[in-house]
């Protein structure tokens, strides 16, 4: 159940993160030819992280996937923390870095957000990683670069856009987290979403019989107008999460378009 915190030593992570992949004719010097590459280790680790739902990323598991002992990995990677930094940046390479053909910046921002949500849903462990760390690697940086490129079309200033960018990342990561939760939860019991929620509700009713009296507002929020069925394909919770993202995006982009986003006076 242990997970990770992306606490790799930046001084050791960064040369690996920004390593030149193209330089194929790299010096090699004496010694046996390496049987592995950093890329191989990274993609094996991504595979392990994707499979073992959150926790089971261990050096031994990665090594086994490569047919090697755990200690062999330390030839390519300084330690587990740095490996986590590498796989975190690595998955961001899956995103389309350059402008897809979108009509206008609003559509482009929306597409950017949906791509990023999809990425985090594919690799939910990534949402656990970047704690106590700024942007470190090239692929994550490219994601930011692509967003800013889109947003500059609005003509807004850097101070405003910095805030907009922050809010966008919070919305995307929060949404992805909710969706990932919604997907993982029923998987454990292998029941349908409805069954899972019914079981949970029954449990709650037994432990807290007076729930409705103690939390009337929550009852109202959950109950009112909730047909409680998704569109048949997307589970209900996930559908809700995506709607919430749409709302957040809409109000933010409205504000940006209207130019009503305030910048604090400089002397503040």
Partner DNA sequence: TACCCTAGCGTACGACGTAAGGAGTTGTCT
Partner DNA sequence: AGACAACTCCTTACGTCGTACGCTAGGGTA
Q: Which of 58, 141, 154, 194 binds DNA (CB under 7 A)?
A: 58
**In 3D, which of 64, 24, 70, 18 has the Cα closest to residue 44?**
64
**Does residue 80 bind DNA (CB under 7 A)?**
yes
Considering only residues 183 to 202 of the shown chain, the ones binding DNA according to CB under 7 A are: none
How far apart (Å, rounded) are the C-alpha atoms in residues 14 and 20?
Answer: 12
Number of Cβ atoms within 10 Å of the Cβ of 46 = 21
207 contact choice in a copy of itself, DNA, none (CB below 5 to 8 Å, kind-dependent):
a copy of itself
Considering only residues 216 to 255 of the shown chain, the ones binding a copy of itself according to CB under 8 A are: 217-218, 220-227, 231, 240-241, 243-244, 246-248, 250-252, 254-255
Return the C-alpha torsion angle 249, 255, 259, 264, nearest 10: -100
21 contact choice in a copy of itself, DNA, none (CB below 5 to 8 Å, kind-dependent):
none
Angle separating helix axes 158-189 and 105-122, nearest 10 degrees = 40
Q: Which of 74, 131, 215, 220 binds DNA (CB under 7 A)?
A: 74
Q: Compute CA distances 130 → 85, 135, 149, 161, 191, whole Å.
A: 8, 9, 23, 22, 32
**Does residue 264 bind a copy of itself (CB under 8 A)?**
yes
Q: Which of 3, 19, 50, 79 binds DNA (CB under 7 A)?
A: 79
How far apart (Å, rounded) are the C-alpha atoms in residues 259 and 160?
Answer: 9
**Does residue 264 bind DNA (CB under 7 A)?**
no
Residues that bind DNA (CB under 7 A): 28-36, 56-61, 63, 68-72, 74-76, 79-81
């Amino acid at each position: 159940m242990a997970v990770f915190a992306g606490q790799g030593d930046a001084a050791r992570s960064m040369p690996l993160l920004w390593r030149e992949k193209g330089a194929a004719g790299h010096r090699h010097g004496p010694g046996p030819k390496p049987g592995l590459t950093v890329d191989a280790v990274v993609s094996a680790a991504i595979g392990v992280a994707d499979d073992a739902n959150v926790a089971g990323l261990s050096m031994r598991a990665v090594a086994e996937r490569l047919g090697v002992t755990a200690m062999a990995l330390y030839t390519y990677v300084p330690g587990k923390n740095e490996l986590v930094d590498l796989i975190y940046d690595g998955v961001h390479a899956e995103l389309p870095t350059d402008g897809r053909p979108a009509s206008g910046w609003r559509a482009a921002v929306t597409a950017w957000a949906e791509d990023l949500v999809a990425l985090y849903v594919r690799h939910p462990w990534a949402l656990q990683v970047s704690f106590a760390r700024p942007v470190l690697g090239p692929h994550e940086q490219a994601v930011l670069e692509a967003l800013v490129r889109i947003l500059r079309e609005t003509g807004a200033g850097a101070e405003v856009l910095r805030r907009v960018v922050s809010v966008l990342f919070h919305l995307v990561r929060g949404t992805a987290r909710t969706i990932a939760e919604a997907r993982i939860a029923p998987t454990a019991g292998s029941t349908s979403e409805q069954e899972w929620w019914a079981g949970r509700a029954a449990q709650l009713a037994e432990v807290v019989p007076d729930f409705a009296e103690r939390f009337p507002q929550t009852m109202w929020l959950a109950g009112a107008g909730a047909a409680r069925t998704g569109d048949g394909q997307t589970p209900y919770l996930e559908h809700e999460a995506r709607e919430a993202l749409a709302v957040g995006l809409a109000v933010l982009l409205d504000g940006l378009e209207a130019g009503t986003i305030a910048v604090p006076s400089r002397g503040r």
